[in-house]
Amino acid sequence: MTLNPDKLELIRRNTDEIITEEELMELFKKNPAPKAYVGYEPSGKIHMGHVLTVNKLLDLQKAGCQITILLADVHAYLNKKGTFEQVRKIADYNKRCFIALGLQEENTRFVYGSDYQLGHEYMLNVIQMSRTVTLNRATRSMDEVGRAMDNPMVSQLIYPIMQSLDIALLDIDIAVGGTDQRKIHMLAREHLKDLGFKTPICIHTPILLGFDGNKMSSSNDNFISIDDSAEDIEKKLKKAYCKQGDVEQNPILELFKYHICPRYEKIVIEKPEKFGGNSTYHSFDELKEAFAAEKIHPMDLKGAAVKYLNEILDPVRAVLM
């Protein structure tokens, strides 16, 4: 069965790259229901950066894929994100968040890393793979995702080897993650075959900007959490970077591109009549061009972002309360 153009476009949507698209097409010819996954390190609030990869899992689910979410509690512990008890508690909450975002529990396999990563088979594979990966390569693989990588702990260098083996031992065909996961995914593609495992296809989504213009991250405290109140979202977006006419490093426009426009057929920017009244846009490109031409004021764009984000998150907050 071939991957039809509509499904392919759904998989491509809002991705930075697919490694490789040719392999993806071949995979669907052999298996119309391949297994795709994301591993989430339970280390803080679920924010809109995480939601971008959840959106991609939903796209893949619509395209026929079987979805696995790894709640990587052991990884979080290795990466110094808290005690094991703290990490497991966050993992339980994260699972509730993912279900609230639309991944139906009965159609999604949720796995805790500690359920299998401490077993004999897994640890033997970790030891075998560690004999083929250099110290320098393991360090470079963790550059984007590790804490204090100028002086890493040995535990953090085991992390990319374990993540590679997660893909293999969970029998995953497609590994999904932000572009910060790329080096680890490339490690998996290069080394898993040496242990007799299949080579995964990798899909990478962009890293969203936080409202301060830097990478959105729990540790940077510059994110919109899915359980933020409507008032919190308004306060955060009001102070977010959004220079008039700037369409490059603009976190407000990113929210429209990756979260709002894919869910709405049209976007209405509300303005008082004395400033020309409301304007309607039917695609992100239309909205972006209007903002670049300074036809939309930053405060009006922010106001619309607040309105639509709250509409999106209202049902999520209701489930999590």
**pLDDT tens for the chain, residues 1 to 321:** 678 889 999 999 999 999 999 999 999 999 999 999 999 999 878 899 899 999 999 999 999 999 999 999 998 998 888 898 999 999 999 999 999 888 888 889 999 999 999 999 999 999 999 999 999 999 888 876 766 567 778 888 888 999 999 999 999 999 999 999 999 999 999 999 999 999 999 999 999 888 877 777 766 778 899 999 999 999 999 999 999 999 998 999 999 999 999 989 999 999 888 888 899 999 999 999 999 999 999 999 999 999 999 999 998 898 887
Q: Report the alpha-carbon distance of residue 278 to residue 268 in Å, rounded.
A: 7
Q: What is the pLDDT at residue 79? A: 82
SS3 letters across the chain: CCCCHHHHHHHHCCCCEEECHHHHHHHHHHCCCCEEEEEECCCCCCEHHHHHHHHHHHHHHHCCCEEEEEECHHHHHHCCCCCHHHHHHHHHHHHHHHHHCCCCHHHEEEEEHHHCCCCHHHHHHHHHHHCCCCHHHHHHHCCCCCCCCCCCCHHHHHHHHHHHHHHHHCCCCEEEEEHHHHHHHHHHHHHHHHHCCCCCEEEEECCCECCCCCECCCCCCCCCECCCCHHHHHHHHHCCCCCCCCCCCCHHHHHHHHHHHHHCCCEEECCCHHHCCCEEECCHHHHHHHHHCCCCCHHHHHHHHHHHHHHHHHHHHHHHC
With a threshold of 0.85, does the pTM exceed it?
Answer: yes
Q: What is the pLDDT at residue 285? A: 96
Q: What is the pLDDT at residue 274? A: 83
If one counts every other C-beta atom within 10 angstroms of the C-beta of residue 125, the result is 20
Q: What is the pLDDT at residue 219? A: 67
Q: What is the pLDDT at residue 55? A: 93
Q: What is the pLDDT at residue 148? A: 58
Q: Report the alpha-carbon distance of residue 42 to residue 228 in Å, rounded.
A: 18
Q: What is the pLDDT at residue 78? A: 84
The contacts of residue 14 (CB under 8 Å, 6+ apart) are: 52, 55, 56, 205, 206, 257, 258, 262
Beta carbons of 142 and 182 less than 8 angstroms apart: no
Q: Give the distance, in angstroms, between the CA of residue 228 and the centroid of all CA atoms in the same chain.
A: 18
Q: What are phi and psi of 108, to 5 degrees?
A: -130, 130
